[in-house]
A and B are shown apart, each in its own frame.
Chain A
Amino acid sequence: MPVTLILTAIVLLFAAVAAMSLRNLVHCALMLAISFSGIAAIYLQLNAEFVGFTEILVYVGAVAILIVMAILLTRSGEAPDKSVLTSGWAAGVAVTAMVFVILGWAILNSTGLPSTVTSAPSATVKNIGDVLMTTYVLPLEIIALMLTAAMIGAVIIAFREEEPKTKMEDGRWKMEQPSTPSTPSMPSSILHPPSSTGGQP
């Protein structure tokens, strides 16, 4: 098992690094889907089949598609000309290196980790359903309520507020009606009254 586990982990990590470092955001989303698939493969190798298939359904099927939709809705599908890094990226890289060194040191030097590999546990769908409907029924209901609230909230946040305004030809919203429209045939005069009309009171 460790050889396939290591190979899957290498593919997963390469995809994750590509998802974080490519310039084109659509390519980033594609690499993100590949790394989610790698995580699902690791779950399958760890005898967590239900979680593996849920990972594919939820992340590859829903979250990656949602991210692609957001990328296309914000018109950021093509690579920018400027730098893609923030102004303080060097400090971020330093903090990341520190975090990884501390985590890796703790993993490699910990004495409390169980070293013997036990036999594969049985996580059948029947067992999971039993546990979800008895021990964890209250968290399940709370999660259902929270998911409903989050979905309604997401729709409300992303909803375009339709106010009784008139839309002009160039796609912008006219904020108020001018009192004396001097040149009604030109809509740009409403936006720039001093330059186009000159004699605005």
Chain B
Amino acid sequence: MTPLQICLLTSALLFATGFAGAVTRRHAILVLIGIELMLNAANLNLIAFWRFGPHPELLTGFIFVLFSMALAAAEAAVGLALVIAIYRHKKTSNLDEVRDLKG
């Protein structure tokens, strides 16, 4: 197995872990943690393809990861602010109890 495949498999496992947490846990902050793990798995893929790809001197995957990190930081800040606002409004952060839009 080449190092690229090791990195990609690690990234796939990390993505699966984050996805499992995001869809099975009922606390809103745990769901956000799962989304962060999935974003990091995608970043790991980009860095691995940049390192072992044909043109690493262009720094494309590298710059993509830097921008993706800025987006992830903004997403985490807004998501946690939403969790705090929902907690202040409904006194719960259990996602099974926040069902106002359920038909």
Contacts and interface: CB of A to CB of B under 8 A. Distances in A.
Contacts, number: 230
B29 A70 contact: yes
A95 interface: yes
Interface residues of A, number: 82
Question: In which size bucket is the chain B interface?
Answer: 35 or more
Interface string A126-169: 01100110001001000100110011011101101000000000
A107 interface: yes
Contacts of B52: 114, 117-118
Contacts of A93: 20, 24
Contacts of B47: 42-43, 46, 48, 51
Contacts of A50: 62
Identify whether the interface residues of A are mostly helix, strand, loop, or mixed.
Answer: helix
Interface string B4-45: 111111101111111111011111011011101100100110
A46 B37 contact: no
Contacts of A46: 7, 47-48, 51
A114 B52 CA distance: 7
Contacts of B88: 160
Contacts of B76: 63, 66-67
B6 A92 contact: no
Interface of B: 1-10, 12-21, 23-27, 29-30, 32-34, 36-37, 40, 43-44, 47-48, 50-54, 56-57, 59, 62-63, 65-67, 69-78, 80-85, 87-88, 93, 95-96
